[in-house]
Structure 1
Amino acid sequence: MTNARLGEALRLLGIDHAAGRVYLALLELAPAPLSAIAAAVGLDGPELAAAYGALVDAGLASAAEEGGEVVAPVPPTAGLEVLARHRVAEVEESRLAIGGAFESFRRQRLAAYNDHLVEVVTGEAIGPRMRRAWMSARDQIRQFESPPYFPLTGATEDALATLARGVTQRVVYSRESLEHPGHLKDAVEPCVKAGEQARVLPSVPVKLLVIDEAYALVSLSSKEADVHNTMLVVQPCGLLSALIALFEQCWQNALPLHGRTTRPGGLSPADRRLLWLLAGGAGDDVIARELGISRRTLFRRLQILMARLGAVNRFQLALQAQRSGWL
């Protein structure tokens, strides 16, 4: 190793320039009187004493014997190895200290951030918060829809206005949504006609409204929403990602409600409503109530629809209606 490279290595190990020069002179001249070392490096007095003392402290040189001034370095193989190990230990100590400081900082910041990840909204504050959510959507809305419904005036109008702005709206309705008195006719059908992408499942896991990828509004459960009137606002975090994944999985398994027809003549709104209720799993009494007809009239209309689609039972009717774009 050249003197220049060894000097740089010593510097990296914490040996300053003056002590490094003394060490190099020791390697060349020792054992030698300290005065000869001083002459070789151009140091004397306090500067030489400080430089040599630093080498002794670092384990690179032996202290001069009492009453003499002959000095010598510790053999480099041993001396430099010990010094290197000391430096590694110091660096590791520093790394652990820095890591501890960072972890403390991270916990404090994360704790402060977590305070804003989930917000609880209750009572009369729910309505305005939901309206702001609809108005803030820019790209798409994902929704699980199920009773009980918060008494929000203008909810359907808000949804229609969002669709009119070009926001994609995908909604998975529960069977209870289609069975809820007047909801299919007054809320579902107008939105589907305006371009909402609607599907239906026997039930949905939670009442949910996801605005873009920005945040979600969640009722703790349908039952709790009715009793406690509570809603959670979930900001971007693992929970929001899980809610979006849950929606996408349910969306894939749900039955589409296209809101359009592909056959000449199509369907009357009442017959389409009948098929939606049938596909959603509603019972005969509920369907008859929603359509305002008797059970006998319901059975007659089912028979007419099955004849039009070549179906021999209700399952085939729902299947053929979906294939024909009637659902």
Structure 2
Amino acid sequence: MLSDVLGLTPEEADAYRLLVSVASATPTGLAELIGCDIRQAVGTLGRLESRKLVARSLGDTTRFVAVPPVAAVQALLTRRQNELDRAKVELDSLDEIYRAATLGRGAAEVVDVIHGAEAIRERVGHIQLGARKEVMNLVKAPFFSSGNLTDDAVIDRGVRYRVIVERPMPDGGSPSFDEIIQARAAGEVVRIAASVPLKLFIVDHELAVVPLLGSVNAARAGALIVHECSLLDALIALFESEWEQAMPFATSAGDPQSAPAIDDLGAQILSLLLTGFTDQAIATQLNTSMRTVQRRIRQMMDTAKAQNRMQLGFRAARLGWLDAQQGDS
């Protein structure tokens, strides 16, 4: 912990911990305690002394004592915080310069073109690492990046991911049910649409990546990087329109206190049914038989007193059958 927070080497952190636990120690004694040679111990003590974590004993200058941890560590923490504050000021200054340059872009500079699948993956990864508030993603086959585009470290910073996935197809040309579940578990808010008009990746309402379709050759793949302009505004409006029409995706049942309730398998079947899957496609996605799917749908219709499948959707929503976490906005 000391090595991570204060920038000490493992050897320095171990030596400081040892000195905290004893009255004092000579370089020779310290070397014996931590199992290193005398030269390493002398070097370690010298570095700790320069950091004001240890001091020479007043009664015997050949011996070293630990500076009280609260005082020593607090001083280092204050120094580190000051460094972070200065770095933030510099970052804010650079960000202002960048934004000023962006606003000054000419008509030919609001759209950049990237060539090659690998270059697209690298650029998308770089852009999402810089996300501060929200990532909006339209997912459509064929993929321009392996796996889903969610970065756990970005989500851990509180960045929201809203993802609209084109309805999974049995041929594997789009995300599978399991992949969508994994995306939700990673922190994505997922909705499903029968189809999406294009692949799209928008970060913080400031940048959009639009992969160019039409070529399956990875070497010939391309994408547009759209900066702040009326075209970006149109792409954001397109995403929001698609978001309103897409279906929230549930993988588990809702509040068990609601009555009558369904189990998780029922919730999964219902969710896929409401997003337009056929009975056979649902059975394929859930690795079960079509007879099981049809039987469970009939049971849910009977329980909800629904006359048809469309009515089942309305009744299910009123009964709170699907996971409340899917009530995204």
What is the DSSP-based 3-state SS (H/G/I as helix, E as strand, rest coil) of the residue aligned with 2:296? helix
2:303 is the counterpart of 1:308: yes
Q: CA deviation at 1:269?
A: 4.3
Note if contact 1:217-1:233 (Cα within 8 Å) is conserved in structure 2.
yes
Q: 2: distance between equivalents of 1:204 and 1:197? A: 16
Match of 2:175 among 177, 183, 186: 183
Q: Which residue of 2 aligns with 1:138?
A: 132
Alignment-mate amino acid for residue 227 of structure 2: Q
Note if contact 2:250-2:271 (Cα within 8 Å) is conserved in structure 1.
no
Q: 1:260 to 1:302 in 2, by over 3 A?
A: closer
- Superposition RMSD on alpha carbons, in Å? 3.0
Alignment of 1:41-120 (within 5 A): 114-115=108-109, 117-120=111-114
Q: 2: distance between equivalents of 1:177 and 1:137? A: 31
Q: Which residue of 1 aligns with 2:30?
A: none
Note if contact 1:198-1:256 (Cα within 8 Å) is conserved in structure 2.
yes
Note if contact 1:175-1:277 (Cα within 8 Å) is conserved in structure 2.
no
Q: Which residue of 1 aligns with 2:101?
A: none
Q: CA deviation at 1:259?
A: 5.4
Q: 1: distance between equivalents of 2:310 and 2:171? A: 19
Q: How many pairs are equivalent? A: 214
Note if contact 1:218-1:232 (Cα within 8 Å) is conserved in structure 2.
yes
Q: 1:262 to 1:183 in 2, by over 3 A?
A: same
Cα deviation, 1:44-65, whole Å, max 9, x if unaligned, reads xxxxxxxxxxxxxxxxxxxxxx
Q: 1:110 to 1:190 in 2, by over 3 A?
A: closer
Alignment-mate amino acid for residue 276 of structure 1: S
Match of 1:286 among 269, 278, 281: 281
Q: CA deviation at 1:186?
A: 3.1
Q: 1: distance between equivalents of 2:111 and 2:281? A: 41
Q: Mean Cα displacement is larger for which, 243-252 or 182-191? A: 182-191
Q: CA deviation at 1:120?
A: 2.5
Q: 1:281 to 1:206 in 2, by over 3 A?
A: same
Match of 2:199 among 207, 221, 237: 207
Q: 1:267 to 1:162 in 2, by over 3 A?
A: farther
Q: Which residue of 2 aligns with 1:25?
A: none
Q: 1: distance between equivalents of 2:228 and 2:311? A: 43
Q: 1:202 to 1:220 in 2, by over 3 A?
A: same
Segments of structure 2 that go 5 or more residues without pairing to the other structure are 1-103
TM-score, normalising length from structure 1?
Answer: 0.57
Alignment of 1:186-265 (within 5 A): 186-221=178-213, 224=214, 226=216, 229-257=221-249, 261-264=253-256
2:147 is the counterpart of 1:148: no
Alignment-mate amino acid for residue 284 of structure 1: D
Q: Which has the higher helix share?
A: 1
Q: CA deviation at 1:268?
A: 4.4
Q: CA deviation at 1:246?
A: 1.0
Q: 2: distance between equivalents of 1:261 and 1:299? A: 18
Q: 2: distance between equivalents of 1:178 and 1:311? A: 29
TM-score, normalising length from structure 2?
Answer: 0.56
Segments of structure 1 that go 5 or more residues without pairing to the other structure are 1-108
